[in-house]
């Protein structure tokens, strides 16, 4: 009798029909989000070193705000709380990393509300949001509170390569944009010492974007864990390098060198941690390349000719909006189906 029941169960299992993929890697959302959190730890430690209490304050405020809003939204919709998958925690950390250290805590919480309630839960929750929630929260704050979002403290920053004195109340990109608009000249020459400061993080900027070294270390971890592929970050960073190199070669007196643009602003943070978002970026390898190139071009266009000194957030969100079109244009041919034939011209 037991043997008959076992065969019946096996036969029922064989008759189950579902969509692909039929093989599972064993990973899930929680494990992927945990890997992303681990990858963000180096940047968080650097932020704590340079910005102190403000980095801790903003990170915890955004994480707690995102988790609380996610729980409240899902409870209001009659669903399980859904906070165990850690996606709200990642959104909170990324949002905090895109904020200046001097922004008030209540503004960070407002950004968390928009990131989760408006950019994510309104569309149905994780897997359905068309735009990166953390970037939506940042852009909402930038448009609503432009003064607070562009205020940078003037202080002396401790640095692994020595104390950096008289740090100006602007980011490197902001200094370049302001100087070109006011006097038509570049504010400083990008020497090796300045490059090393920006690589390690001894410069003004949002708390999680200042250290390219820490972000690259986190990106290497994500690649090792196979949470992301190299295509989007490589094409994004490569496009910015090529675009800025052309501008610099044509007119070096009014354009910064390419390595400045690679280290300045949120390029590394955006290319590694936000442009690679599985929900809002293409799923095909060709699509990832197109997405990265588009982000790179838009970033440089905004930096060079736009009204903002930084263009990463807007570039990624604009490319998010056409991700479905990129997926459609780059989807592979289904095995066994013939290619579409072009009509004969008469």
Banded pLDDT at 180 (limits 50, 70, 90): confident
pLDDT digits (tens, 9 = 90+) for 285-302: 999 999 999 999 999 999
Q: Is residue 333 over pLDDT 80?
A: no
- Spatial distance between the Cα atoms of 319 and 302, rounded to a whole number of angstroms: 14
Report CA 219 to chain centroid distance, whole Å: 11
Are 315 and 219 contained in the same domain?
yes
CA-based Rg of the chain, rounded to a whole angstrom? 23
Across-strand partners of 164?
157
Are 128 and 218 contained in the same domain?
no
Banded pLDDT at 182 (limits 50, 70, 90): confident
- Let me know if residue 228 belongs to a domain: yes
pLDDT digits (tens, 9 = 90+) for 317-326: 999 999 999 9
Q: Is residue 159 over pLDDT 90?
A: no
As a whole number, mean pLDDT of residues 129-140 equals 94
Q: Is residue 346 over pLDDT 70?
A: no
- Let me know if residue 141 belongs to a domain: yes
96 versus 172: the higher-pLDDT residue is 96
pLDDT digits (tens, 9 = 90+) for 51-91: 989 999 999 999 999 999 999 998 888 887 778 888 999 99
What residues contact 265, with CB distance under 8 A and at least 6 apart?
Answer: 171, 172, 173, 205, 209, 303, 309, 310, 312
pLDDT digits (tens, 9 = 90+) for 9-54: 455 555 555 555 555 555 778 899 999 999 999 999 999 999 989 9
Are 144 and 218 contained in the same domain?
no
Are 235 and 318 contained in the same domain?
yes
Are 236 and 322 contained in the same domain?
yes
**Predicted structure pTM score:** 0.86
- Let me know if residue 11 belongs to a domain: no
Final residue in a domain of this structure, among 134, 149, 164: 149
- Let me know if residue 202 belongs to a domain: no
- Let me know if residue 65 belongs to a domain: yes
- Per the structure, the complete domain to which residue 267 belongs is given by 209-326
69 versus 3: the higher-pLDDT residue is 69
Are 220 and 112 contained in the same domain?
no
- Let me know if residue 47 belongs to a domain: yes
Banded pLDDT at 160 (limits 50, 70, 90): very low
Are 312 and 213 contained in the same domain?
yes
Banded pLDDT at 334 (limits 50, 70, 90): low
Final residue in a domain of this structure, among 124, 149, 174: 149
- Let me know if residue 70 belongs to a domain: yes
- Let me know if residue 341 belongs to a domain: no
Final residue in a domain of this structure, among 107, 131, 149: 149
- Spatial distance between the Cα atoms of 83 and 122, rounded to a whole number of angstroms: 16
Banded pLDDT at 166 (limits 50, 70, 90): very low
Q: How many domains does the chain have?
A: 2
* Candidate from 153-157, 194-198, 278-282 with smallest mean pLDDT: 153-157
Residue pair 258/244 in contact by the 8 Å Cβ criterion: yes
Task: Return the residue matching tokens 């190139």.
Answer: 293
Closest by CA position to 288, among listed 345, 228, 339: 228
């Amino acid at each position: 009798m037991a043997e008959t029941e076992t065969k019946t169960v096996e036969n029922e299992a064989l008759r189950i029909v579902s969509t692909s993929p039929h093989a599972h890697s064993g990973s899930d959302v929680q494990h992927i989000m945990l890997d992303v959190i681990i990858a963000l730890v180096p940047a968080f430690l650097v932020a704590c070193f340079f910005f102190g209490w403000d980095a801790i304050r903003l990170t915890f405020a955004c994480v707690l705000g995102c988790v609380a809003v996610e729980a409240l939204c899902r409870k209001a919709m009659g669903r399980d709380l859904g906070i165990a998958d850690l996606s709200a925690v990642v959104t909170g950390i990324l949002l905090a990393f895109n904020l200046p250290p001097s922004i008030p805590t209540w503004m960070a919480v407002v950004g968390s509300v928009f990131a989760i309630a408006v950019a994510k839960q309104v569309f149905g929750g994780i897997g359905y949001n068309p735009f990166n929630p953390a970037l939506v929260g940042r852009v909402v704050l930038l448009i609503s509170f432009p003064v607070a979002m562009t205020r940078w403290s003037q202080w002396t920053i401790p640095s692994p390569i020595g104390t950096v004195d008289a740090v100006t109340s602007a980011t490197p990109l902001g200094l370049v944009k302001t100087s070109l608009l006011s006097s038509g000249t570049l504010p400083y020459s990008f020497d090796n010492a300045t490059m090393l400061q920006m690589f390690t993080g001894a410069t003004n900027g949002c708390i999680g974007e200042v250290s390219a070294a820490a972000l690259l270390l986190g990106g290497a971890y994500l690649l090792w864990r196979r949470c992301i592929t190299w295509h989007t970050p490589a094409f994004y960073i490569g496009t910015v390098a090529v675009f800025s190199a052309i501008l610099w070669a044509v007119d070096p007196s009014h354009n910064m060198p390419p390595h400045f643009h690679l280290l300045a602003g949120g390029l590394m943070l955006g290319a590694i941690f936000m442009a690679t978002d599985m929900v809002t970026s293409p799923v095909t390898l060709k699509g990832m390349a197109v997405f990265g190139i588009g982000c790179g071009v838009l970033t440089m266009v905004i930096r060079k000719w736009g009204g903002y000194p930084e263009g990463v957030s807007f570039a990624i969100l604009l490319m998010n909006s056409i991700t479905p079109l990129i997926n459609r244009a780059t989807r592979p041919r289904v095995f066994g189906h013939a290619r579409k034939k072009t009509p004969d011209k008469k």
